[in-house]
Structure 1
Amino acid sequence: MDSSELNHNWNNVCEQVKTYNNVDASQVNAFFSRLVPQAMSEGFLMLTADNDFIKSWVEQHYLEIIKQALNDLFHVPFNVILAVDAASAAPAVAPSNPQTTTREPQSAPASPATMPPSAAVAPAHEYSPTTVSSFPSGDQSQIAQPQPEQERRSALDDHFESSLVEHSAEEQPPAPTTPHKRAEGPASLTFENFVIGDSNRMAYSMAVDVAETPGKMHLNPLFIYGKSGLGKTHLLRAIQNYINETRPQLKVTYVDSAELLSDYMEASVAHDKEKSSYRNFKQRYEESDVLLIDDVQYFQGKKQTLDIVFQIFNKMTDQGKQVVLSADRAPKNIDIDERYITRFNSGGTFDIQPPEIETKLGIVKSFIEEYRESEGDPAFSISSDIQMYIAENSSSNIRELKSAVTKIIYQMAFTHNSDLTLDDVRGVLESHFSGGPSKRLAVADIQREVENYYKISHSDMVGKKRPRHITYARKIAMYLCRQMLDLPFNDIGKKFNRDHTTVLYSVSDVEKQLKESRDMNEEIEALKMIIRDL
């Protein structure tokens, strides 16, 4: 089978997969675009992914669906094999001296604590890139050829080449030993224990991509944003821990914006006495291979700090070093100069939405499992109805969710009662969840009060009419649902007969107008008071 026929068949399979119920077409586009068909014959298909995360994720979530699509199209059962082909990954390092070619040590794989969770789910087929090349494929030569980005040989290639050459095979770090106890603090925040859901899947995927191949042009900088407590810091720390474990020769610096501001203030105070203080301040960050800055929204109004951060940012990205930023809002909603917004958006920008019930339930189960391991008590459990109660009543803040689980765990330990009832738990957590009465609210409650306030009917609210006063009230209602209920855009959209992009646009539009319209601010505050009194 020649390459054109192979690619044509694979495109047909992708389209067939997207026709099935419960398949997210955008997710298929995102992940399947990272797969390359290598060989196909009757009843057999071989695909390669550019890294182990994509391979494992597709194996876990889509392998059976791909087989079904093949069966539906060709009417024979198929055996589908996935492998990792490093040639299709990030630009390969090409040392300037062929005699000193070195590769990153392969004898020390990442320990389970630092591997992406999906990379450790199902046993991977043991096919290496050399095995892949042994299969006939008319398109194989194209895959092995350098892409235009590789031909340009960005500054990233030169930077990471020197890092790898300096750490030759004779200087390989010892293989990581199996940890004898569960890591604590920032070291415990890994890809493995990050619970993935529809609300955070893309941000997670891009964070893994950066951790595996730091400095990719299209992901530099990587900007992750979302409300407090949704897992942004977890992803930044996971990147740090993964690189520290798998590429110890690289210097990774994580800094919170408050710490960076404090460093800058100290450098400013010391500048009169020590002229090198600014230079030392910048060098701390510029000498990093990977720089992760958390909560950059706090740079608002700090023009001098922003200027020096901008200098560090530009120097690092120009050298091909990786920068990762996080904030509680999108770059365009941070009150900073347009040139900073443009640079922050120049790589990959991804949001984390409030978690769905399924994701929150997964976080509860994960935290219980962590407790079992840390206490050496495999029999410990919390009933499923209590787990669901916590997931349904907690806000989107994952810290609040975990603290609720902790509270129940220690209530069970303190009372020596491992059989707490749901009524017991309601009493323990009565004043725990944030938002108070708003936790009992539903979208219908907010719709009703907004309809009464602006004097429109419910059919107007959820219908297709577009007079200005109706669309205005509808946007306000969507915004309040997002703010007060912490629901994902898709869930809100279903209640208004709209898709998630319409809700996203409406919420963003209201947020923008709130910066300029005093009347809108007063209206929303009045509505919040009415709704909280329900």
Structure 2
Amino acid sequence: MSSNEISTIKPSPNPFASDVWEKSLSLIKQDLSEQSYKTWIEPTHVQKWENGVLFLEVPDRFYGDWLKDHYQAIISSAVESVTRTKPDIQYVISSRSFKSASVAEPVGAPVKTQHDGLNSRYTFDTFVVGPGNRFAHAASVAVSEAPARNYNPLFIYGRVGLGKTHLMQAAANYILGKNSKASIVYLSGEKFTNQLISAIQNRSTAAFRVKYRNSDVLLVDDIHFIAGKESTQEEFFHTFNTLYDAHKQIIVSSDRPPKEIPGLEERLISRFAWGLVADIQPPDFETRVAILKKKVEREMVVVPDEVVHFIANKIKSNIRELEGALIRVVAYSQLTGSVVDVKTVETEILKDSIQEEVGNITIDRIQKTVCDYFKIKISDLRVKNRSKSIAHPRQVAMYLVREMTDHSLPEIGNYFGGRGHATVIHAHNKIERSVLSGGKIQQVVEDLRELIKRG
């Protein structure tokens, strides 16, 4: 059956398809407006992946036709990015009851038992504990067992793809398991901001406040998004105070500790310090192997141990990349009907990923690449020269070291002539702001990243 047909058959769901679709959704979100995503993508559900075909449930034939006509290319591209294979998309009319965003409750509706955005697959049982995340895991479990008792707020930070969202949602799901009537609100800092803007435009800020300040547990992912946004920080500050005073649990996450978030108001930094700040570090080799083996077991697929160890040894940046590599290996195995070996993984399936993960990116390599790019000497990065021709490359180099290695702030400072950690933070934040604002510096940083990866 071609992707232009809509079936009324209902294939059985499987874990692999769910994982592929979940990762594809994160890419689709980037290409659509929030309203388009809510209206047309959220109501779909994955059924299964079979012989290169992804089956998606849709409410009715109209939905399927609309997706084919307007979003087929976006969906196919996202799935292809995840599986590294060109997929066929087939739409299946579902018998289940759907509710599209067009008839969803308006912003500010009463929030009792609202659990939007939670993924039931994120549990403590499916979280692999290792040295780099043990503290954050223990804190999340403690908060789940006794909300608002000890660690309030709980602030979890770490780089992208290390499990912050998993821990937050696991905590929410655990609390729901104990009390199904608990009012739990989970959303991103971006969504909080967008909903506030909408509430201001629609003159419904009172309803907005009811929605968030009446929750039993508030979880905000990527809280750093609200930094620099005065009205959003003001609103979140008062929401925080209301919930805290009412002994309600607050859990937030970021890619860095509160004090290092540029543009975050001091009063919020102070509030986050009231509770517990826990970091997550990249997983070590043993933890990476355990993560892969657990996923293989959960997906009920066959992947040789030597392939698992090879992937764990080559993909070190984050768990998301690690699991993405495994998904591509499994997809290749299923499509070819063969059990893959290390050679095939290295030379065909993960060739691009392994090149991107060029092992052991060092400060020396970054400094040399930056100096070659800006045509200055490495010694210039280490002396106290404040001229713009030297200071700017130095700040770019510090930014890249902070982004591409796991060195601590003092270690980075030592490599740049014994500078203090505050100088490193300032340099990183300054370049980051420039990158986020776009323009020439954004391209410069991307060019340097590629040069550094190539060695």
TM-superposed CA distance for 1:223, in Å, is 1.0
TM-superposed CA distance for 1:233, in Å, is 0.8
1:267 lines up with 2:199 in the alignment:
yes
> 1:227-266 counterparts in 2 under 5 A?
227-266=159-198
Measured in 1, the distance between the counterparts of 2:397 and 2:430 equals 15
Gap change, CA 1:530 and 1:408, over 3 Å in 2: closer
Gap change, CA 1:264 and 1:497, over 3 Å in 2: closer
TM-superposed CA distance for 1:261, in Å, is 2.7
Gap change, CA 1:516 and 1:416, over 3 Å in 2: closer
TM-superposed CA distance for 1:215, in Å, is 0.6
TM-superposed CA distance for 1:250, in Å, is 2.9
- Judge conservation of contact 1:353–1:488 (CA < 8 Å) in 2: no
* Counterpart in the other structure of 1:187: 120
* Counterpart in the other structure of 2:428: 511
Decide which of 416, 421, 444 is 2:341's aligned counterpart: 421
Measured in 2, the distance between the counterparts of 1:530 and 1:386 equals 28
Measured in 2, the distance between the counterparts of 1:506 and 1:384 equals 45
- Judge conservation of contact 1:289–1:321 (CA < 8 Å) in 2: yes
Quick one: higher RCO (CA 8 Å, sep 6+), 1 or 2?
Answer: 2
Gap change, CA 1:294 and 1:529, over 3 Å in 2: closer
Measured in 2, the distance between the counterparts of 1:194 and 1:397 equals 14
Deviation track 1:410-436 (CA, whole Å, cap 9, x = no partner) reads 211211112x121111234345528x5
Deviation track 1:382-438 (CA, whole Å, cap 9, x = no partner) reads 2222112222322523222112111111211211112x121111234345528x555
1:291 lines up with 2:218 in the alignment:
yes
Measured in 1, the distance between the counterparts of 2:167 and 2:149 equals 17
Partner letter of residue 272 of structure 2?
Answer: F
* Counterpart in the other structure of 1:371: 299
* Counterpart in the other structure of 1:531: 452
> 1:165-180 counterparts in 2 under 5 A?
none
- Judge conservation of contact 1:408–1:428 (CA < 8 Å) in 2: no
Deviation track 1:314-341 (CA, whole Å, cap 9, x = no partner) reads 1110111111111222222231322222
Measured in 1, the distance between the counterparts of 2:450 and 2:329 equals 32
Measured in 2, the distance between the counterparts of 1:528 and 1:449 equals 9
Decide which of 429, 435, 439 is 2:358's aligned counterpart: 439
- Judge conservation of contact 1:479–1:506 (CA < 8 Å) in 2: no
Partner letter of residue 323 of structure 1?
Answer: I
Partner letter of residue 349 of structure 2?
Answer: L
Gap change, CA 1:357 and 1:198, over 3 Å in 2: same
**Quick check: 523-532 or 198-207, which moved more?**
523-532
Gap change, CA 1:282 and 1:513, over 3 Å in 2: closer
- Judge conservation of contact 2:189–2:223 (CA < 8 Å) in 1: yes
1:205 lines up with 2:126 in the alignment:
no
Unaligned runs of 5+ in 2: 1-116, 386-390, 436-440
* Counterpart in the other structure of 2:89: none
- Judge conservation of contact 1:355–1:488 (CA < 8 Å) in 2: no
- Judge conservation of contact 1:356–1:487 (CA < 8 Å) in 2: no
TM-superposed CA distance for 1:243, in Å, is 0.5
Measured in 2, the distance between the counterparts of 1:247 and 1:488 equals 42
Gap change, CA 1:474 and 1:388, over 3 Å in 2: farther
Measured in 2, the distance between the counterparts of 1:511 and 1:215 equals 34
Decide which of 293, 312, 315 is 1:391's aligned counterpart: 312
* Counterpart in the other structure of 2:288: 360
Measured in 1, the distance between the counterparts of 2:420 and 2:286 equals 21
Gap change, CA 1:437 and 1:198, over 3 Å in 2: same
Measured in 2, the distance between the counterparts of 1:259 and 1:342 equals 23
Measured in 2, the distance between the counterparts of 1:481 and 1:505 equals 15
TM-superposed CA distance for 1:205, in Å, is 1.3
TM-superposed CA distance for 1:189, in Å, is 0.3
Gap change, CA 1:221 and 1:270, over 3 Å in 2: same
Deviation track 1:183-214 (CA, whole Å, cap 9, x = no partner) reads x9710101111112222221111111111111
Measured in 2, the distance between the counterparts of 1:507 and 1:468 equals 14
Gap change, CA 1:355 and 1:480, over 3 Å in 2: farther
**Quick check: 326-335 or 219-228, which moved more?**
326-335
Measured in 2, the distance between the counterparts of 1:496 and 1:338 equals 25
TM-superposed CA distance for 1:524, in Å, is 7.3
Deviation track 1:91-142 (CA, whole Å, cap 9, x = no partner) reads xxxxxxxxxxxxxxxxxxxxxxxxxxxxxxxxxxxxxxxxxxxxxxxxxxxx
Measured in 1, the distance between the counterparts of 2:199 and 2:251 equals 23
> 1:56-67 counterparts in 2 under 5 A?
none
TM-superposed CA distance for 1:507, in Å, is 5.2
Partner letter of residue 334 of structure 2?
Answer: A
> 1:88-103 counterparts in 2 under 5 A?
none
- Judge conservation of contact 1:478–1:503 (CA < 8 Å) in 2: no
Measured in 2, the distance between the counterparts of 1:506 and 1:352 equals 23
Measured in 2, the distance between the counterparts of 1:208 and 1:339 equals 27
Decide which of 311, 314, 320 is 2:238's aligned counterpart: 311
Fraction of identical pairs, as percent: 32
- TM-score norm. by structure 1 comes to 0.52
**Quick check: 324-333 or 186-195, which moved more?**
324-333
1:225 lines up with 2:136 in the alignment:
no
* Counterpart in the other structure of 1:102: none
Decide which of 339, 351, 373 is 2:267's aligned counterpart: 339
Unaligned runs of 5+ in 1: 1-183, 272-276, 373-379
* Counterpart in the other structure of 2:4: none
Deviation track 1:511-531 (CA, whole Å, cap 9, x = no partner) reads 24646999x999978865653
Gap change, CA 1:475 and 1:515, over 3 Å in 2: closer
Measured in 2, the distance between the counterparts of 1:392 and 1:198 equals 17
Which of 1 and 2 has greater Rg? 1
- Judge conservation of contact 1:200–1:353 (CA < 8 Å) in 2: yes
TM-superposed CA distance for 1:360, in Å, is 1.9
* Number of matched pairs: 325
